[in-house]
Chain A
Amino acid sequence: MGQITLQGVQKSFGPVHIIKGADLEIADGSFVVFVGPSGCGKTTLLRLIAGLEDVSGGKILIDGKNVVDTPPAKRGLSMVFQSYALYPHMSVRGNIGFGLKMAGLSKDETNRKVEAAAATLNLTPYLDRKPRELSGGQRQRVAIGRAIVREPKAFLFDEPLSNLDAALRVQMRIEVTRLQKQLGTTAIYVTHDQVEAMTMADKIVVLNGGKIEQYGSPLDLYEKPANLFVAGFIGSPKMNFVTGENALQRGAATIGVRPEHLKIERDGAGGWQGTIAVAEHLGSDTFLYVDAGPVGMLTARYIGELSLHAGDHVSLLPDPARIHRFDQSGNALRH
């Protein structure tokens, strides 16, 4: 079991409020990602749940029990750190088994569990190596091994993939997701990378300035962003925002259209007229950065190759069903 509930959790360091009251329900077995720009409090929130920081106010319930006064080790959680934090003088076996040894398990029991965890993570050939003799991806797996071997109620991941190169990151992303599904253990994962968030999460928590902006499934956030911040943060390239006349016509202060929901027409007459400033041809996609005069810069995405180049004149037609409307204070207006 690993159901985690936050009730009005607050954290301040001196006069600085980092977390301004967070309420959250994390269901058992779900994969929840905390995402947000740097300094939004996502790592702090994770450390509060882990017990590495003390809350300034509110409650943290794990399986219905308030744990704010429980030391980290007694909360039944395990954590994977950004720097991996492996013990450099211990072998892989020692690293993975350290928690079990501290829990007072017998040598045989520890070895059996360590070997099982190592087999899950394809680390068996490396069990007697030291961390410095491993590659980045292998170290990452040792850190994960150390987390899973204790059979915790939940895993906490603190930007675990940020030190890996791009190709390895994609591979580890898939491995972590598969492992979590296979074990069925609740996971909380902190990242600033919205692609990681969208691909890995069952549910995403978008944080900004110490506040939870929105909590929902990845597609919920993509299709129904609650406010301008979430709309701008989720999705790549970023959503286009248009203010003024165009927005007022639709009864909103700001309207937003995702690049993929703009229909691109050569020399068309309707929609927003503009000149291409930059065209990026990726083969699978074409991104156009269009200077649309009074409307501003717009980004349009075409799936596949489109032979348009800088300087070409285009018109962009927003899909009327996929226009997001926001009021003066940035909150979404529902139809």
Chain B
Amino acid sequence: MATRQTQLLARSLLTPAVGLLFIWMIVPLALTLYFSTLHYSLLDPGSESFVGLENFRYFLTDPAFLASLQNTLVLVGSVLALTILLGIPLALLMDQPVIGRNFVRLMVIAPFFVMPTVSALVWKNLLMHPVSGLFAWLAQLVGLTPVDWFNDVPLFAVILIVTWQWLPFATLILLTALQSLDEEQKEAAEMDGASAVSTFIYITLPHLARPITVVILIETIFLLTVFAEIYVTTGGGPGLSTTNIAFLIYSQALIQFDVGSASAGGLVAVVIANIVAFFLVRIVGRNLEA
């Protein structure tokens, strides 16, 4: 039992860590809040003045905002769907006892360790380049016109790159879940006359419900803030076709040098992330309850 003294000791020992974390969080938040109410342009230093909610009005009524919101949602949704739909069969394959399984696992996990900027460069210059890329070469080999990925289907190209990066994560989580599936349960289903497909639908898939939830929640957090892949490949373009919220905020701050509007955008992004989180927890969070 914790006595009053040990409680006091625990609290006083926790205080420095909690305090540091609190400062870590509150200072940027407070500064962002403060900047969002200022007219603050880096092109015009020294002219900062209080403008109230003008920055928010400007950011929210900017046509780029709705476009980038839509891009963000399409990007997150597509990558989630692709990583899970591809991750499940991949995990099932990797769960099979094949020769060199450990090596295969290592190879499948590898993309996760490649830095986003590096993988974006590799995709942009080695794979998707319309002249010298591997895909262009393959297309020409079978007599097709090479696709100019970042001009013709820019958002899809970005989705492909991000999916490639996050597929290992989904696969890995699902694979560990598959390995924790009780062997006797599968055997019981086999005795009950279930085919491989029925076993998958009635035994394996329900067992994966929880890890799928985990994948969705964690990936969403990171996918809402995808930036490096867009910066390196398309720079948000052509036009606004690959600009997501994170990139829009960047362009406000460091292309248009409007710190006030970017801060307002950052706060809007916080609200959007919370709205998404709220719905996610409502929809898929039930699976996390024991």
A residues engaging B (CB < 8 A)? 50, 52, 71-74, 77-79, 81-83, 85-90, 98-99, 102-103, 146, 150
Whether B188 contacts A102 by the Cβ 8 Å rule is: no
How close is A83's CB to chain B, nearest CB, in angstroms? 5
User: At the interface, yes or no: B184 with Cβ under 8 Å from chain A?
Assistant: yes
B182 proximity list for chain A (CB < 8 A): 83, 85
B interface, how many residues as a size bin? 10 to 19
Per DSSP, chain B at the interface is helix
Please give the distance in Å from A67's CB to the nearest CB on chain B: 14
**Shortest distance in angstroms between A44's beta carbon and chain B's nearest beta carbon?**
14
Question: A52: nearest residue on chain B (CB-CB)?
Answer: B187
Question: Given A52-B187, A81-B188, A82-B184: A87 and B193 within 8 A (CB)?
Answer: no
Complex alpha-carbon distance, A170 and B27, angstroms = 67
User: Do A52 and B190 have beta carbons less than 8 Å apart?
Assistant: yes
* Residues in A whose Cβ lies below 8 Å from that of B188: 79, 81, 85-87, 146
What 1/0 mask marks residues of chain B from 174 to 211 whose CB sits below 8 Å from any chain A CB?
Answer: 00000000101101111111110010001100110100
A77 to B190, CA, bound (A): 11
How close is A153's CB to chain B, nearest CB, in angstroms? 13
Residues of A within 8 A of B209 (CB): 89
Q: Are B191 and A50 in contact (CB under 8 A)?
A: yes
A73 B185 Cβ-Cβ under 8 A: no
Evaluate contact between B191 and A73: CB separation under 8 angstroms.
Answer: yes
Give, as a whole number of angstroms, the nearest-CB distance from B287 to chain A: 10
Residues of B within 8 A of A150 (CB): 192
A85 to B191, CA, bound (A): 11
Point out the residues of chain B lying under 8 angstroms from A73, CB to CB. Answer: 190-194
Interface set, chain B 145-194, CB cutoff 8 A to A: 182, 184-185, 187-194
Residues of A within 8 A of B185 (CB): 85-87
* B193: nearest chain-A partner, CB-CB: A73
Instruction: Apart from A50-B191, A81-B184, A89-B209, list 11 A-B contacts with CB within 8 A.
Output: A52-B191, A73-B193, A78-B191, A81-B187, A81-B188, A85-B188, A87-B202, A88-B207, A98-B194, A99-B193, A102-B193
A2 CB to closest chain B CB (Å) equals 15
Q: Say whether B184 contacts A99, CB under 8 Å.
A: no
CA distance A74 to B182 in the complex (A): 23
Q: Once bound together, how far apart are the Cα atoms of A73 and B198, in whole Å?
A: 13
Nearest CB of chain A from residue B189's CB, rounded to whole Å: 7
Partner of B191, one of A72, A82, A87: A72
Which residue of the partner chain B has the closest CB to A74?
B193
Assembly CA distance A178 to B170 (angstroms): 50
Alpha-carbon separation in the docked complex, A74 to B193 (Å): 7
Enumerate 25 A-B pairs (CB-CB under 8 Å) in ascending A order.
Answer: A50-B191, A72-B187, A72-B191, A73-B190, A73-B193, A77-B191, A79-B188, A79-B191, A81-B184, A82-B184, A85-B187, A87-B189, A87-B202, A87-B203, A87-B206, A88-B206, A88-B207, A89-B207, A98-B189, A98-B192, A99-B191, A99-B192, A102-B194, A103-B193, A150-B192
Q: In the complex, A102 Cα to B190 Cα: how many Å?
A: 10
Question: Hey, which chain B residues are within 8 Å of A82, CB to CB?
Answer: 184
With a cutoff of 8 Å between Cβ atoms, the chain A residues found around residue B194 in the complex are 73, 98, 102
Which of A72, A86, A98 has the largest number of chain B CB atoms within 10 A?
A: A98
The 9 closest A-B pairs by CB, nearest first: A73-B193, A99-B192, A85-B184, A85-B188, A89-B206, A102-B193, A81-B184, A85-B185, A102-B194
A102-B184 in contact (CB<8A): no
Q: Which residues of A contact B206 (CB under 8 A)?
A: 87-89
Task: Tell me the smallest distance from the CB of A76 to a CB of chain B, in Å.
Answer: 10
Q: How far is the CA of A87 from the CA of B188 in the complex (A)?
A: 9
Cβ-defined contact, B191 with A102, below 8 A? no
Residue of A nearest to B192 (CB): A99
Q: A87-B202, A89-B206, A89-B207 are in contact. Are A146 and B192 (CB under 8 A)?
A: yes
List CB contacts (< 8 Å) of B202-249 with chain A: 202-203, 206-207, 209
Give chain B residues whose Cβ lies under 8 Å from the Cβ of A52.
Answer: 187, 190-191
Residues of B within 8 A of A90 (CB): 202
- In the bound complex, do residue B190 and residue A72 qualify as a contact, i.e. CB atoms below 8 Å apart? yes
| A residues less than 8 Å from B198 (CB atoms) | 102
CA distance A82 to B182 in the complex (A): 12
CA gap between A149 and B65 in the complex, in Å: 61
Chain A residues contacting B184 (CB-CB under 8 Å) are: 81-83, 85
Q: Give bound CA distance, A52 to B209, whole Å.
A: 27
